[in-house]
Structure 1
Amino acid sequence: MRLRPIKLLQVGGMAALLSIACPVFAADAAAGMVKNLTGTVSIVRAGVSTPAQVGSEVMAQDKIVTGANSSVGIALKDDTLLSAGSGSVLALDRFAFNTTTYEGSMSLRILKGTLRAITGLISHHSPGAMKFSTPTATLGIRGTDFIVDVP
């Protein structure tokens, strides 16, 4: 979330200028961050693959790809923790989270590999708003810790 000043103009012939910090929910706001990794991990954004590093931002619409003998740990803004193993491909299709009300939604596809997820505030405050999909199934999550393996 970025803060952007708001300027108020003329009020009754008198120029009033106020700068108020208001939250702006930018479409490009990070959904989370890479917390740890081993081996080769890439983030594919808008068709461009970039090597991931600890601290790399993860955005909605990103794909996370782990190489052989590699893994990645990602913490999302709602405190969801994702851990992907070797040879995994994850697609974070949607992520929206309001830090004030703790409401939001998330959709993640596990295209290949293994994923362990410990869900955060979205699943606790908005039951049914968190979805994990595989090529053959969709999981509706309501606050839990689970592992998925997609060969």
Structure 2
Amino acid sequence: MSSVSNPALKYAFACLCAGLAFADVHAGDTAGTVKTVKGAVHVERAGKSTGVAVGSEIQGRDRIVTGADSSVGITLRDNTQLSAGANSVLDLNKFAFDTTTHDGALDATVRRGSLAVISGKLAKANPDAVRFNTPTSTLGVRGTEFIIEVGDNGEDAR
């Protein structure tokens, strides 16, 4: 009797393949991980608001919101480090990263507050693929570390 013709084995193999396919799709949605949290921080995703903790996953279309006296540190899959300060709103518009080729894109908007950035592999491999926006400007990445500040009225702070 061949093990391939065993119905139980076929079922187990099918379940394993389906599980791996789900894990691979899920991993593609994950843009990064929350590394530090201080105070009230939540993520808005698919019309729902969820509090975050260290270890929470951030996805490529999330809005990250910090409260008064709050901050959050996020490491994206390409090792880009984002630190949002108090009263900040950060929209992660798009994040894609191929761990083999380092191709992809990072497009984020700082609606309010402050964001410190340390560029990762994506910006080093292809700086034109990384863009940060504010209500009044678009920043291309040409350095490895920078800070963006946006006033309460959506105006860039100087």
CA offsets, 1:69-109, max 9 Å, x none?
Answer: 00000000000000000000000000000011111111000
Counting only pairs closer than 5 Å after superposition, residues 7-26 of structure 1 correspond to structure 2 as 24=24
- The sequence identity of aligned pairs, in percent, is 48
Root-mean-square deviation over aligned CA pairs: 2.1
Structure (1/2) with the larger helix percentage:
2
2:65 equivalent in structure 1:
65
1:3 equivalent in structure 2:
none
Unaligned runs of 5+ in 1: 1-16
* Matched length: 134
Structure (1/2) with the larger strand percentage:
1
Distance 1:130 1:25, change over 3 A: farther
1:132 equivalent in structure 2:
132
Distance 1:78 1:28, change over 3 A: closer
Q: TM-score with structure 2 length normalisation?
A: 0.79
- Pairing 1:79–2:68 present: no
CA offsets, 1:110-150, max 9 Å, x none?
Answer: 00000000010111111200000000000011341000110
1:90 equivalent in structure 2:
90
2:43 equivalent in structure 1:
43
1:14 equivalent in structure 2:
none
Runs (4+) of structure 1 exceeding 6 A deviation are 19-23
SS at match of 1:31: strand
